[in-house]
Chains A and B, each alone.
Chain A
Amino acid sequence: MLESSFVPLLVAIPLLGAFVIPLLSKLWEGFADLVGNLVSVFLLGLAVYGLVHLSTGATGIVYKMGGWLPPIGITLVYDSLTALVVLITNLVVFPALLFSTRYLDQYTGRWKYYTLFMLLLAGLNGVAISGDLFNMFVFIEISAVASYALVAFGTRAEELEAGFKYMVMGEVGGLAILLSVALLYAKTSTLNLADMSQSLAAGGHTTFFWFALGTILVGFAIKMAMVPFHSWLPDAYLSAPAPVTAVLAGVFSKVVGVYAMSRVVFNLFGLSRTTAPAFFDMLVAFGLVSIVAGGLLAINQRNYKRLLAYSSVSQMGYILVGFGIGNYWGVVGALFLVVAHAATKGLLFLSARSIERSTGTRDIDSIGGLEKSMPVTAWSYILGSMSLAGIPPFAGFFAKLLIVLGAVASRMYWLAILAALFSTVTLGYLMKVIGKVFVGRKSTEPTPAQESPPMILLALVILVVVVVLFGIGFQPVLDWVVQPAAEALFGGLAYARLVFGG
């Protein structure tokens, strides 16, 4: 029992932080920075501890709240997929909070920001560890409500508008998820994921089964901004404070969208390519639409942050295609892209903010030659772009390679060609930014700009190191983090055996 007791801490510590920050900030405003960053460092430590703990051979840790046995009590499950998600969450949140210490200089109400951020973090970790469907919904809502408030944090007219728009879309998604939870409860009389999965497996693929799955997937699709539900995304990403954008783009869409979706599809509904080929073809189709639409929308943008936002839509499409291919390498590729894209997009949004901070503009045509004046920021952005575009030896390259390999292994050659082709579109729009903003033509004067303060640069460098390590050390990452997670998904209903056996 003792070894598993770190699992609830992943939620309890940030909640405690959210409680302590407003109290202590009355004494000294700096406590907000201090407590927020301490919490994120501690959680990163816990995430690494959990990963190491799992690599010693255990398939997963099941924590039973209050000692009540499943399916009666609430269970928290920490298997290798959870370990992956918790790791990337805290890996991106830690530099984002470091970045926040200086970012917040322009705002008042520092403690409000950190309190909301802690709630967001508690919700994200909670989604990953919760072993029953209703708790998952509650944690999704905790993180979502915190993120709505954070998007509108600046309270300028555009930010409020984006926040409201995001909230309307997000809440429709949340209610769709809740409706599906109600449907599934009415059918199976249980909420525990493991228990429910056995009950659904016994019931067979009825119309009701597909209706409940469709309802919950609409909810997740809105949360992860798949086309045609992507309209809130660019506005919300542009309006939110930069560290929040990094967390929303890097982690929120992965945890609340991809993780919850894959958990529900593979472990709860127990689907696989062999049992439901039509469903997986549909995932591929939706993924392809997102890749194409996101890529084409990104390529015409002159605003470098909006370009990154649309590129997120496109990359999420790749992740969905990877899951849709449905064989081992497709799913491994999708999960590796989850890891790679989280760190990369976090890095890109933070360095984009660092540029905006110095130059005061988001238009790529009105700045140039920043490589000279802001070398650290420039190189962070360039290295991040290279990873996103899939240039070897960066993480993004291996992720897309694995997805293409998966497509070839399933004899979907046209899909492999399309995926590779649109990877060059990604390269195209990223090169446009690099060429104009950093290198600059010789004829134009470089824009005068000052390098950002050390705390911001530290946050950038940490993420650069992470991105480069994921690329160069892709073999250990694959062995320790990604492949066990893929096996947890492919185990399908083995999830139920873990919960009841452990």
Chain B
Amino acid sequence: MVPFLACIVLFLFGLYAVLLKRNIIKIIIGFSIMEYAVNLFFAFAGFKREALAPIITDVGMVRNFVDPLPQALVLTSIVIALATTALMLALAMRIYEKYKTFDIAEIRRLKG
């Protein structure tokens, strides 16, 4: 239970950065922390103490094995996280070119 709660706490740290930091780069770092937290959570969900890798060998079937599916899912979600981080950084660069600042308090040309 403790690792799962630790993941939730880590997720909340990331959320704190996203919601309350004023610097765009720190917001993006906050997203990375949240993504790590969820990925860790997934990996823990498939973990089993003293279990083996789920590989079929000549010796025979492995009976006590770690759930491999969450690891495959985590890989997919890491790829998605890569895409979103890249897009966010690209937007941040273009915003810096236009506004000459990373401070979201000064990036306020929109009303709503």
Contacts and interface: CB of A to CB of B under 8 A. Distances in A.
Interface of A: 134, 138, 141, 145, 148-149, 152, 155-158, 160-165, 167-168, 171-172, 174-175, 178-179, 182-183, 185-186, 189, 191, 231, 234-235, 306
Contacts of B108: 161
Given A162-B110, A167-B88, A171-B84, A186 B45 contact: yes
A216 B35 CA distance: 16
B42 A175 contact: no
Nearest to A177: B38
B91 A163 contact: yes
B87 A145 contact: yes
Interface stretch (B49-57, B58-66, B70-78): B70-78
Q: Dominant SS at the B interface? A: helix
Interface of B: 4, 11, 15, 18, 24, 27, 31, 34-35, 38, 41-42, 44-45, 67, 69-70, 73, 76-77, 80, 83-84, 87-88, 91-92, 94-95, 98-99, 107-110, 112
A164 B92 contact: yes
Contact of A171 (B11, B31, B44, B94): B31
A134 B38 CA distance: 13
A168 B87 contact: no
A418 to B, nearest CB: 25
Contact of A189 (B11, B67, B84, B112): B67
B83 A145 contact: yes
Given A155-B94, A160-B95, A182-B45, A175 B87 contact: no
Nearest to A172: B18
Contacts of B107: 161
A306 to B, nearest CB: 7
Given A182-B70, A186-B44, 7 more contacts: A152-B94, A160-B91, A164-B95, A179-B41, A185-B73, A234-B112, A235-B112
Contacts of B11: 175, 179
Given A155-B94, A178-B38, A161 B109 contact: yes
B52 to A, nearest CB: 18
Given A178-B38, A179-B41, A185-B45, A138 B80 contact: yes
A182 B42 contact: yes
A161 B110 contact: yes
Contacts of B34: 172, 175
A303 to B, nearest CB: 9
Nearest to A155: B94
30 contacts: A141-B80, A141-B83, A141-B84, A145-B80, A149-B87, A152-B94, A155-B94, A157-B95, A157-B98, A158-B109, A161-B107, A161-B109, A161-B110, A162-B110, A163-B91, A164-B95, A168-B27, A174-B84, A175-B34, A175-B38, A178-B38, A178-B77, A182-B70, A185-B42, A185-B69, A185-B70, A186-B4, A186-B44, A189-B67, A235-B110
A182 B38 contact: yes
Contacts of A138: 76, 80
A164 B91 contact: yes
A306 B110 CA distance: 12
A193 B99 CA distance: 46
A194 B24 CA distance: 41
Contacts of B70: 182, 185
A401 to B, nearest CB: 32
A157 B109 contact: yes
B45 A161 contact: no
B112 A306 contact: yes
Contacts of B42: 182, 185
